[in-house]
């Protein structure tokens, strides 16, 4: 018969194994990216959480105007992707930018196999050429902390749709600073990174997706877009 040794001396030499207790992820925590990921993976109920300049930001539940705006943007960008090979588009993908920044933008677009790549865990490493965020207003961190992070990490273009303000800001990176792009006489804001990616911002704000896609189609049939596609295929 086996006799279990329950003496204090035995337990001192062989302490029982205790599972490590991982602290919960809380809004406003100051963490390294490694610790942020450790706590996020241990969170039972997954919510959208980002690490911006070492600070945790946890999003509130998505309300209808945000969801509809996101859907319209996804339709516009997805249509461009359908006619432009080797352009990749992702919805709410986790992006590792640097040691203190792990973001999850509403939409992102990049040229395959250039400056970004997929990590072993399946996340995106590096700043995409285009990042899109749907924000509540100009007070949102999308136009402050996150804008500075995208700018520093080299996101070439950055779009922010401020839903309550009924405003769309499209920034282009020039000499290390973000400069706002404006509508031309034809009512379109045009990407300088993705030829043919034209946005009828006023129509988008008014919910006229038919005209938004019609304006995009004008860009897709330009010589600039054709040459861009040929270059990508070459």
Give the Cα separation of 116 and 123 in Å (integer).
10
Give 11's pLDDT tier (boundaries 50, 70, 90).
very low
- pLDDT of residue 24 exceeding 90, the answer is no
| Cβ atoms 129, 137 nearer than 8 A | no
| Cβ atoms 208, 201 nearer than 8 A | no
> What domains appear along the chain, each with residue ranges and CATH number?
17-57 (no CATH), 62-233 (3.90.1570.10)
Give 37's pLDDT tier (boundaries 50, 70, 90).
confident
Question: Across residues 197-209, what is the average pLDDT?
Answer: 97
Question: Helix or strand or coil: residue 101?
Answer: strand
């Amino acid at each position: 018969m086996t006799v279990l040794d329950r003496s204090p001396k035995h337990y001192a030499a062989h302490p029982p194994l205790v599972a490590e207790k991982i602290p919960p992820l809380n809004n406003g925590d100051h963490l390294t990216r490694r610790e942020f990921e450790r706590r996020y993976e241990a969170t039972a109920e997954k919510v959208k959480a980002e690490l911006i300049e070492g600070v945790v930001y946890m999003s509130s539940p998505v309300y209808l105007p945000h969801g509809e705006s996101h859907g319209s943007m996804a339709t516009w960008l997805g249509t461009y992707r359908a006619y432009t090979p080797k352009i990749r588009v992702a919805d709410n993908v986790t992006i590792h930018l640097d040691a203190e920044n792990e973001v999850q933008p509403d939409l992102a677009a990049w040229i395959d196999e250039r400056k970004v790549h997929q990590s072993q865990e399946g996340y995106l490493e590096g700043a995409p050429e285009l990042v899109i965020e749907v924000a509540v207003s100009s007070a949102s961190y999308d136009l402050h902390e996150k804008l500075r992070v995208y700018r520093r990490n080299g996101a070439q273009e950055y779009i922010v749709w401020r839903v309550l303000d009924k405003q769309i800001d499209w920034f282009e990176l020039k000499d290390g600073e973000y400069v706002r792009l404006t509508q031309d006489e034809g009512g379109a804001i045009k990407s300088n990174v993705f030829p043919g990616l034209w946005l009828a911002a006023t129509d988008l704000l008014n919910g006229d997706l038919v005209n938004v896609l019609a304006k995009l189609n004008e860009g897709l049939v330009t010589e600039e877009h054709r040459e861009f596609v040929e270059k990508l295929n070459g």
